[in-house]
Amino acid sequence: MSKAYKKETLCVQAGWQPENGQPRVLPIIQSTTYKYSTSEQMGRLFDLEENGYFYTRLQNPTNDYVAQKICELEGGVAAMLTSSGQAATYYAIFNICEAGDHVVMSSTVYGGSFNLITCTMKKMGIDCTVVDPDWSEEELNKAFRENTKCVFAETIANPALVVLDIEKFARIAHAHQVPLIVDNTFATPINCNPFKWGADIVTHSTTKYMDGHAMCVGGAIVDSGNFDWDAHAEKFPGLTTPDESYHGVTYTKKFGKAAYITKATVQLMRDLGSIQSPQNAFLLNVGLETLPLRMERHCENALAVATFLQNHEKVAWVNYPGLEGNKYHELAKKYMPNGTCGVISFGLKGGRSAAEKMMDHLELAAIVTHVADARTCVLHPASHTHRQMTDEQLVEAGVAPDLIRFSVGIEHKDDIIADLEQALQFV
Ligand code: PLP
């Protein structure tokens, strides 16, 4: 938007800007194609000589308005939507890495990202070194190689709830002339803007708090525009040398600060096609309108639930960065002064079997794979989302075998606590 509005205003009003007589609400442009009157103009669009829509697999106006809103919330220069958070992670990395390259990744990232990067991308010839986010800069330095192309981490790790020292990671990435890519799904742009602290690219699973109602799988990538690809041109030939698959265009020359997102759109989206459906983008936009209200309530409720659990005799440990005394509380206060997220984790004195019994007796909180939505939900990662990992990998990822991931919703906190209280009686 032209004025520097606050995030609450951007959530409602950024993106679609209706002109006189146009619909107030973002329209769903449910069309795969766009009509032009001359074949010469269509040719110019294909040559990227002219701005315009030509096929929804590359770009769609509904999607672009929503991406614009997310871009403004993050304080970036360009953004795109993807069909899922997984696609966002994949595209964000693959846009600057190819076979023979190397990625440095935090050990505590979401299990799906861990699998994507250490298994699937490895099969594509992209190697990865897994690092402990709490390592010193000296230790982290050792993970870098000549062919390292980026660093990937999460602002608040799912489900380990490790808060990333973004400045430390940005410093180390930049010292090795590579960008820091941060998955900001759990904090959301309401609670943290990683660009302010030196991150270069942000990814989101919009499936989580942004949608907020467990309706649509989706993702987003936002570029800060701050990383100077040309200054390290030999490391990023995909951006700084002609793309033969696109009529010899050199993205940094032609698109400047929009180079990274333009390449991901016209090359990766064209070839791999993980577009978000305009219907889902419309619903995501509705979710975004209430994001600040929901995040405030998620954080307030999560703190109340974490405090209740901490004082319960059957609870062995509680992990919530919003709790005073938590290992990451100081980092959380620095990077997320208004709150972290609604997800907490805890373990019971009775261990894994007690966890399963307790979960089976919850009435309000449902056992679902999903996390970070309006309804309270619960999961046992070692048995569910992270079950592909070895015990060693689970420990590295900060996922204890008894860890219960409890995603506190926006119901009344008294009801959520009462539900936990009655379920704990069965343990
Ligand atoms: N990043 C984080 C932090 C996640 O929690 C998830 C999913 O749980 C993803 C990425 C992947 O997103 P999606 O499920 O939308 O593909």
**Omega prior to 237 cis, within 30 of 0:** no
Residue 271: inside a domain, yes or no? Answer: yes
Percentage above 70 pLDDT, the chain: 100
Half-sphere exposure of 167 (CA within 13 A, CB side): 6
CB distance 305 to 247 below 8 Å:
no
Q: In the predicted model, what is the mean pLDDT of residues 117-140?
A: 98
- Rounded to a whole number, what is the distance in angstroms from the first to the last CA of the chain? 53
Q: Do 302 and 419 fall into the same domain?
A: yes
pLDDT for the residue numbered 235: 98
pLDDT for the residue numbered 309: 98
Say yes or no to pLDDT of 216 above 80. Answer: yes
Q: Do 184 and 242 fall into the same domain?
A: yes
Residue 119: inside a domain, yes or no? Answer: yes
> 93-119 in b/e burial notation, b at 16+ Cβ within 10 A?
bbbbbeeebbbbbbbbbbbbbbbbbbe
Percentage above 90 pLDDT, the chain: 89
Q: Which of 232, 263, 286 is the last residue of a domain?
A: 286
Q: Ligand 1 pocket, 118 CB below 6 A?
A: no
Q: Do 71 and 168 fall into the same domain?
A: yes
Q: Do 342 and 378 fall into the same domain?
A: yes
Q: Ligand 1 pocket, 381 CB below 6 A?
A: no
Gap from CA of 322 to ligand 1 centroid (Å): 22
Whether this model's pTM surpasses 0.95: yes
Give 152-180 pLDDT, tens digit per residue. Answer: 999 999 989 999 999 999 999 999 999 99
Atom of ligand 1 nearest to the CA of 385: 8
Which residues, other chains included, contact 295 with Cβ-Cβ below 8 Å and sequence gap of 6+?
188, 190, 191, 209, 339, 341, 342
Mutate to test the pocket of ligand 1, among 81, 86, 107, 115 (most ligand atoms within 8 A of CB): 86
**What one-character DSSP code corresponds to residue 24?**
S
Please compute Rg for the chain using Cα positions.
22
Gap from CA of 6 to ligand 1 centroid (Å): 27
Q: Do 353 and 297 fall into the same domain?
A: yes
Q: Which residues partner with 366 through β-bridges?
A: 377
Gap from CA of 110 to ligand 1 centroid (Å): 7
Residue 196: inside a domain, yes or no? Answer: yes
Q: Ligand 1 pocket, 158 CB below 6 A?
A: yes
Q: Do 59 and 99 fall into the same domain?
A: yes
Residue 1: inside a domain, yes or no? Answer: no
- Of 60, 416, 405, 414, nearest to 208 by C-alpha is 405
Residue 2: inside a domain, yes or no? Answer: no
Domain range for 206 is 7-286
Q: Which of 266, 286, 306 is the last residue of a domain?
A: 286
Q: Ligand 1 pocket, 113 CB below 6 A?
A: yes
Q: In the predicted model, what is the mean pLDDT of residues 48-57?
A: 91
pLDDT for the residue numbered 47: 84
Gap from CA of 34 to ligand 1 centroid (Å): 32
Gap from CA of 113 to ligand 1 centroid (Å): 8
Q: Do 134 and 63 fall into the same domain?
A: yes
Residue 59: inside a domain, yes or no? Answer: yes
pLDDT for the residue numbered 390: 78
Q: Do 175 and 43 fall into the same domain?
A: yes
Alpha carbon 298 to chain centroid distance?
A: 18
Gap from CA of 73 to ligand 1 centroid (Å): 19
Give the whole-angstrom CA distance, residue 332 versus residue 353.
32
Mutate to test the pocket of ligand 1, among 91, 108, 113 (most ligand atoms within 8 A of CB): 113
Domain of 252, CATH number, reads: 3.40.640.10
Give the whole-angstrom CA distance, residue 22 versus residue 16.
10
**Tokens in use for 314?**
């059957």
CB distance 178 to 235 below 8 Å:
yes
Give the whole-angstrom CA distance, residue 249 versus residue 424.
62
Q: Which residues partner with 78 through β-bridges?
A: 223
Q: Do 97 and 189 fall into the same domain?
A: yes
Q: In the predicted model, what is the mean pLDDT of residues 297-312?
A: 98
Gap from CA of 155 to ligand 1 centroid (Å): 13
Q: Ligand 1 pocket, 183 CB below 6 A?
A: yes
Q: Which of 286, 320, 335 is the last residue of a domain?
A: 286
> 122-153 in b/e burial notation, b at 16+ Cβ within 10 A?
eeeebbbbbbebbbeeeebeebbeeebbbbbb
Gap from CA of 389 to ligand 1 centroid (Å): 16
**What one-character DSSP code corresponds to residue 82?**
E
Say yes or no to pLDDT of 335 above 80. Answer: yes
Q: Do 400 and 261 fall into the same domain?
A: no
Torsional sign, CA 131, 163, 394, 90: negative
Which residues, other chains included, contact 420 with Cβ-Cβ below 8 Å and sequence gap of 6+?
305, 308, 309, 362, 365
Q: Ligand 1 pocket, 219 CB below 6 A?
A: yes
Say yes or no to pLDDT of 247 above 90. Answer: no
| Cα torsion through 300, 305, 307, 309, rounded to 10 | -170
Q: Do 202 and 272 fall into the same domain?
A: yes
Strand ranges inside 33-179, DSSP E: 78-82, 102-106, 127-131, 148-154
pLDDT for the residue numbered 392: 79
Give the whole-angstrom CA distance, residue 307 versus residue 297.
15
Residue 99: inside a domain, yes or no? Answer: yes
Q: Do 218 and 310 fall into the same domain?
A: no
CB distance 290 to 74 below 8 Å:
no
Query: How many other CB atoms are found less than 10 A from the CB of residue 2?
Result: 5
Which residues, other chains included, contact 325 with Cβ-Cβ below 8 Å and sequence gap of 6+?
none
Give the whole-angstrom CA distance, residue 253 versus residue 230.
9
How many independent structural domains does the chain possess?
A: 2
Q: Ligand 1 pocket, 205 CB below 6 A?
A: yes
Domain of 363, CATH number, reads: 3.90.1150.10
Residue 176: inside a domain, yes or no? Answer: yes
